[in-house]
Amino acid sequence: LAVATNGLYDASVYRKCAGILQRTQVVDAAKVAAFDSFAQTVEDLFKSNTQDEAMLGDIPDEFMDPLLWQLMKEPVTLPSGYVVDRATITQHLMNDASDPFTRSPLTVDQLVPNAALKAQIQAWVAAQHK
């Protein structure tokens, strides 16, 4: 699910990779088939997630991740006070061990779950599905 919801997903990249794997025969056919299956699963999850967000309509700004501008599923508070989705900041920290807002050093251990905001988001989503 993280691959499909990290804001960087592009189905064409996966299709291109599958084609390269087949053409170059770098891996055996079973691994190419497994990759194709994975790519299809990710694409299905991406479409489902996109449809879910579309059905919610206008999402309140305070529920949106400020970096990728998508609904937060697991909001966490950074030491700087900014709130982002855990998946977003975890992905960022894999590439750059700093707070994206202040550039100060940051690790996953410093992320504080924001249970109150998560409950508000879940309640709002539930109300939209009624």
If you search the block for the tokens 């879910």, which residue do you land on?
A: 52
Q: Where does a domain end: 39, 54, 69?
A: 54
35: domain range? 1-54
What is the reported pLDDT for 65? 95
CA distance 83 to 64: 9
What is the reported pLDDT for 54? 66
pLDDT of 28-43, one tens digit each? Answer: 889 888 888 888 887 8
What is the reported pLDDT for 84? 98
Q: Which two tokens stand for residue 13?
A: 């990249």
Write b or e for each residue in 57-69: b if 16 or more Cβ atoms lie within 10 A of its Cβ, otherwise e: eebeeebbbebbe
Give the residues of the chain that fall short of pLDDT 70: 1-9, 48-54
What is the reported pLDDT for 11? 74
Kindly state whether residues 63 and 123 are assigned to the same domain: yes
User: Domain tally for the chain?
Assistant: 2
Residue 43 contacts residue 51 (beta carbons within 8 Å): no
Residue 68 contacts residue 76 (beta carbons within 8 Å): no
What is the reported pLDDT for 49? 66
Q: Where does a domain end: 15, 33, 54?
A: 54
What is the reported pLDDT for 123? 95
Kindly state whether residues 45 and 62 are assigned to the same domain: no
- Reference 50, options 1, 115, 88, 86; nearest CA is 1
Q: Say which DSSP state 84 is in.
A: E
Strand partners for 89: none
